[in-house]
Amino acid sequence: MYKDVYEKWLHHPNLDPSYKEVLENMDEKEKSDAFYTTIEFGTAGMRGLLGPGTNRINIHTIRKANVGFAEYIVAHGKEAMERGVAIGYDNRHMSYEFAMDSAKVLATFNIRSYVFESLRPTPELSFAVRHFNCFGGIMVTASHNPKEYNGYKLYDEKGCQLVPALAQQVIDRVNAVEDELAITANPSADQEKLITVIGKDVDEEYYENVLSIQLNPNVNKDNVKIIFTPEHGTANIPVKEVYTRAGYHFVAVEEQCTPDPDFSNTPTPNPEEKGAYDLALEYAKREDADIILVCDPDADRMGVGVKHEGEWHLLTGNQSGAVLIEYIFSQLIDKDRMPNNPVMFNTVVTGDLGEKIADKYGVATEKTLTGFKFIGEKVAKYEKTNEKQYVFGYEESYGSLIKPFVRDKDAPQACLMLAEAACYYKEKGKTLVDVLYDLYAELGYYEESQTSLKLAGQEGAARIQEILATLRTSDVEAINGVKVTRFEDYKECRIVEDGKESELTGFTKSDVLKYYLEDGSWIAIRPSGTEPKCKFYYCVKGTSLEDAHSKTLAYQKAMDEMIK
C-alpha cells in the first residue's frame, strides 16, 4: 500500500521539486515510514519529521491541513471568514515558508489572515488571536523537538489549541482531501489583500500584559543575576524586553540568541534535557550568577537552574511549578488579592507536590489530560460560568500560564515571575532550592521524575502500543514488592480499586495508565503525543529526599524489568 502512495508522490507533476531527489534516494524502510500512514494530530497539533511523505511535515501535508482548517472556517460562515486567522512561526526550517503558504491557502478560500512579520513565541500567537478577535490561529513550530522536526498547531477563537472535539471536525475535512499534491496556494490579487502583516503593535500589547503579572514590581533586583537563553528561538526578543523594562539584571547566552533552524550552539533546545543548560552553565559560573532560565524555541516552556550552596541544581518542571505556586499563592494571600473560589490546573501525570501547596492556600486543583489545550478549555469554561477563578496552570513538561490573557503555556510570563520570586526570596536569605526544601519539610518528600523509551518509526509506534496493551490487560498487583492499591486506565475508562471495578469519568479517552501504590507513590505510562517516545512518570513519596530517591530508582528498575 505504501508503495503505491510513494509512487504517486514520486511521479506527481505538482511534487515540490526539492523533494524529488530525497524520494528517489529512500530505501524501503524510509519509504514505509514516510508513507505507511498519514501524519496525525497529537498532544499539540500535527508534529513530525520534515521531508516528503504522507507521514511527514512538508508543504503538501501542511496544505492539506490548511484546506481542512479552511473548510472548517467556511462552514462557520462569513463572519468567521472575515474574523480570520492569526499566523505565527518559529525559527525552524521551513517555518516561515509554511506560515506564508498557510495564509495563501486560506486566502484562496476568502479567509482573512494576520501573519507575523518575523518569528514570535507560541504564547504571542495565542495572544494575537484574542487581540484581533480572530476565529482561529495557526502556529508553525515543533516546539521543543529536535531540528529535524516541524509542526502545525491550530487555535480556536479563544486562543486555545483545538481540543479533540473541534480538532476532529478539522481532521474529518483534512482526511476527505484526496490528493494533497493537487492543492495550490495561488490566491488572486484581491484575495492577497486578505493577508495582513503584523508585528510591533501586537508586541507592545503583549509585553504590557506580561508586565502586568508582577506581584512585587518593586522587589530588590540588585542582588540577583540571571543567565537567560532562548535556545536560538523566539524568546530572545520578548524575554529581554520584559526583563529590561522591569529592571532585572540578566546576561543572555549570546551564542544561542541568533535565530537558527539548526540550533547550532546547543546540543538540544529542550529544557527537559540537560544539554540545553550546558552553555548557560558556563556563563553562570563565569558571571557568578544566581539563576539560569532556558526557554524552548517557541517559548512555551521554561527550564530553571538555581545556584544553591555553590552547586547548580536543575529544577524539574514539577519543581519550578511548585516554586511558582508557592510564591504566587503566598503573595496573593498576603496582598489580599486571592479571588474567591480559586482554581489551579495541572494534568493526571503532574506530580502531587503542587496540589499540596495549593491545598495549603485554599486553592482547588483540577486535573486534565496531557496537553495545555485541556487547561485552556477549562479556563474558558470557568470564564463563562464564573464558578471558579483561575489562579495558575502548569504541566510537569515545563510549561505554565500565570494570567490567562494567553491560552497556552507562556514562557515569557514564567521567566518574569520566576525572576521576581528569586529576588523576593534572596532578600529573605533563601535560594529557590531552599524554598523547595522548606516545602518538602512541610508537605512531604516527593521525587517527581520521568523516564522514556525512544521508539521511532513504524516499528517503534507498534512497540509502544504493544507495551500499553500488554500492561492494560496484565493484572499488576505489586511494583517492586509494593502493593498496587488503585489502577486507572484512561482509555478503557476503568478504575480498579480493592478488587472492585468502577468507571473513570471526566476525561476524553486517552492511552494513559496509572498505578497508585500503597506507600503514597504513583507511576503513570503513556505514549508521547509529540515525540516517538513511551513516557513513564514517577511521583514517589519518601520519609526524606534520600529515601524518595532510592525508592524512585527501585521503581524505575522494576518498571524496566516489567517492560522487558
The residues annotated with a catalytic role in the active site are 143
Tell me whether residue 43 or residue 209 sits nearer to ligand G6P (CB atom).
43
Q: Torsion angle of alpha carbons 247, 250, 254, 259, nearest 10°?
A: -50
Strands 45-49 and 41-42: antiparallel
Tell me whether residue 388 or residue 535 sits nearer to ligand G6P (CB atom).
535
Residue located via cell numbers 495582513 = 196
* 475 secondary structure, DSSP code: -
Stretch that binds ligand G6P, among 84-92, 220-228, 237-245, 392-400 (CB under 6 A): 392-400
Q: CA-to-CA distance for 405 and 421, rounded, in angstroms?
A: 21
For residue 453, how many other CB atoms are within 10 A of its CB?
A: 18
Q: Is 510 in the site for ligand G6P (CB under 6 A)?
A: no
Answer for which of 91, 530, 552, 556 binds ligand G6P (CB under 6 A) is 530
Give the up-direction half-sphere exposure of residue 58: CA atoms within 13 A in the CB hemisphere: 22
Q: Is 528 in the site for ligand G6P (CB under 6 A)?
A: yes
Q: How far is the CB of 432 from ligand G6P (least distance, A)?
A: 22
Tell me whether residue 369 or residue 436 sits nearer to ligand G6P (CB atom).
369
- Give the three-state DSSP class for 20: helix
Strands 494-497 and 500-503: antiparallel
Residue 382: C-alpha distances to residues 126, 345, 481 (Å)? 19, 12, 43
Tell me whether residue 102 or residue 370 sits nearer to ligand G6P (CB atom).
370
Spatial neighbors of 387 by CB under 8 A, at least 6 apart, are: 341
Q: What nine digits make up the cell of 448?
A: 517527581
Q: Is 529 in the site for ligand G6P (CB under 6 A)?
A: yes
Task: Return the biggest CA–CA distance within the chain.
Answer: 70
Q: Is 410 in the site for ligand G6P (CB under 6 A)?
A: no
Restricting to residues 114-153, which ones interact with ligand G6P according to CB under 6 A?
143
Q: Is 43 in the site for ligand G6P (CB under 6 A)?
A: yes
Strands 364-368 and 342-347: parallel
Q: Is 552 in the site for ligand G6P (CB under 6 A)?
A: no
Q: How far is the CB of 18 from ligand G6P (least distance, A)?
A: 29
Q: Is 162 in the site for ligand G6P (CB under 6 A)?
A: no
Give the up-direction half-sphere exposure of residue 389: CA atoms within 13 A in the CB hemisphere: 11
Answer for which of 121, 399, 412, 532 binds ligand G6P (CB under 6 A) is 399
Tell me whether residue 104 or residue 301 sits nearer to ligand G6P (CB atom).
301
Q: Is 395 in the site for ligand G6P (CB under 6 A)?
A: yes
Residue located via cell numbers 470557568 = 382
Q: How far is the CB of 452 from ligand G6P (least distance, A)?
A: 9
Stretch that binds ligand G6P, among 221-229, 273-281, 473-481, 527-535 (CB under 6 A): 527-535
Q: How far is the CB of 396 from ligand G6P (least distance, A)?
A: 7
Query: Quick one: which of 384, 204, 229 has its CA closest to 297?
Result: 229
Answer for which of 38, 397, 413, 480 binds ligand G6P (CB under 6 A) is 397
For residue 40, how many other CB atoms are within 10 A of its CB?
A: 13
Q: CA-to-CA distance for 291 and 289, rounded, in angstroms?
A: 6
Q: Is 234 in the site for ligand G6P (CB under 6 A)?
A: no
Instruction: Show the binding pattern over residues 44-63: x = contacts ligand G6P (CB under 6 A), - = does not.
Output: x-------------------
Instruction: Determine the size of the site formed for ligand G6P (CB under 6 A).
Output: 14
Q: How far is the CB of 298 from ligand G6P (least distance, A)?
A: 9
Q: CA-to-CA distance for 325 and 418, rounded, in angstroms?
A: 10
Q: Which segments of 199-282 are extended strands (E)?
A: 225-229, 249-252
Q: Is 320 in the site for ligand G6P (CB under 6 A)?
A: no
> Could you list the residues that contact ligand G6P (CB under 6 A)?
43-44, 143, 370-372, 395, 397, 399, 528-531, 535
